[in-house]
Amino acid sequence: MRFAIYGAGAIGAYLGAKLSVAGDDVALIARGPHLKAMRENGVRIKSAEGDFDAKLLATDDPAEVGEVDVVVLAVKAHGLTAIAPLLEPMLGPDTIVLPAQNGIPWWYFQGHGGTWEGTQLESVDPGGVITKHIATERIVGCVVYPAATIVEPGVIQHEEGNRFSIGELDGSSSDRVKALSAAIGNAGLRAPVRSNIRQEIWVKLLGNLAFNPVSALTKASMEEIARDPNARAVAQSMMEEAYAVAAALGVEIPISVEQRLAGAEKVGDHKTSMLQDVEAAKPIEIDGLVGSVLELGSMLDIPMPYTTTVYACTKLLAQKSS
């Protein structure tokens, strides 16, 4: 298959390199020193599973890439509004768009059915720009689990994980989603096809919603938050509020708050992505991870006092850091 990875940072470059060495035609779209290094030397992956190099097209111009089978959107959620209008040169009649963001995605109520079908979330798609430029029928949902960092331009440290869960928005097991799963699997990764991709989004979101902003405010690791009685209580309350929202939407989360907290504690001395972005003075995913759930809570008339408070503080932190 022919892939374009738009936003070839740590996760995007890792996925692209794995696909490339497996024989797929892959183009990476990036910018800055990272792009320059990948153009000159390719991508270097460092991993406990084995180090390797991949030489592939790296560019900042979608027109140079042309039409592909799959466009992977690997930018942070707040970067989608800017890139959505730029995708057209890569979109053929049957091109799949695979969004690889954390949090509630802009497409959540597309192909959803029921009362909220087609509802646009302003927190993740301001003005409907993304919806306007990416047709619903192109989208295959995705939940990303690998952890990776850029240790220097063009060099990626893969820390753990190899799963990219995918699923059609209507839950069907289509030929295209099976083919995509097979291609990612052929690259030595896992891409299980889920009949309810939204449920898996909520499972991952539980931790991100609570631990990311609390860590950004406290500069504490996940383990430190989970072991501190006061911080743990805040994280627990935020998760319970998110559970209430999910339940109101008809989503049954197959893991308890206590299990999610215990899992976070086992991760150990790990900095969340939001804390890393704060320390690097980069924009943070506060609206994708937290603002979107608050918007859902407001739609459903569900009070979320803990989440609202932490969101307000983190939002101010982001404004002062920018």
Torsion region of 129: left, alpha or beta (phi above 0 gives left; psi -120 to 50 gives alpha): alpha
Please report which confidence band the pLDDT of residue 265 belongs to, taking 50, 70 and 90 as the band edges.
confident
Let me know whether 209 and 188 are in one domain: no
**Which phi and psi angles does 127 have, rounded to 5°?**
75, 5
Let me know whether 54 and 188 are in one domain: yes
CATH code of the domain covering residue 88: 3.40.50.720
Return mean pLDDT, the chain: 95
Rounded to whole angstroms, the Cα distance separating 129 from 121 reads 11
Rounded to whole angstroms, the Cα distance separating 173 from 131 reads 24
Cβ–Cβ under 8 Å, residues 90 and 62? yes
Q: Give the containing element (helix H, strand E) for 200.
A: helix 197-218
Let me know whether 170 and 237 are in one domain: no
Over range 105-111, report the average pLDDT: 96
Q: 166, 195, 224 — which closes off a domain? A: 195
Q: 195, 224, 259 — which closes off a domain? A: 195
Q: 153, 178, 195 — which closes off a domain? A: 195
Please report which confidence band the pLDDT of residue 320 belongs to, taking 50, 70 and 90 as the band edges.
confident
Lowest mean pLDDT among 14-23, 191-200, 273-282: 273-282
Let me know whether 22 and 145 are in one domain: yes
Let me know whether 187 and 308 are in one domain: no
204 is catalytic: yes
Q: If you ran DSSP here, which 8-state letter would residue 98 be given? A: E
Please report which confidence band the pLDDT of residue 269 belongs to, taking 50, 70 and 90 as the band edges.
confident
Instruction: Provide the β-strand partners of residue 43.
Output: 54
**Which phi and psi angles does 130 have, rounded to 5°?**
-65, -45
The answer on pLDDT for 217 being more than 80 is yes
Let me know whether 80 and 222 are in one domain: no
Over range 119-141, report the average pLDDT: 97
The 10s digit of each residue's pLDDT in 170-211 is: 999 999 999 999 999 999 999 999 999 999 999 999 999 999
Domain that holds residue 172: 2-195
Let me know whether 78 and 151 are in one domain: yes
Could you tell me which residue, 23 or 113, shows the higher pLDDT? 23
Let me know whether 137 and 204 are in one domain: no
Rounded to whole angstroms, the Cα distance separating 108 from 106 reads 6
The 10s digit of each residue's pLDDT in 291-317 is: 999 999 999 999 999 999 999 999 999
- What lies within 8 Å, CB to CB, of 135 at 6+ separation is none
Three-state DSSP class for residue 291: helix
Q: Please identify which of the residues 36, 46, 204, 271 carries the catalytic annotation.
A: 204
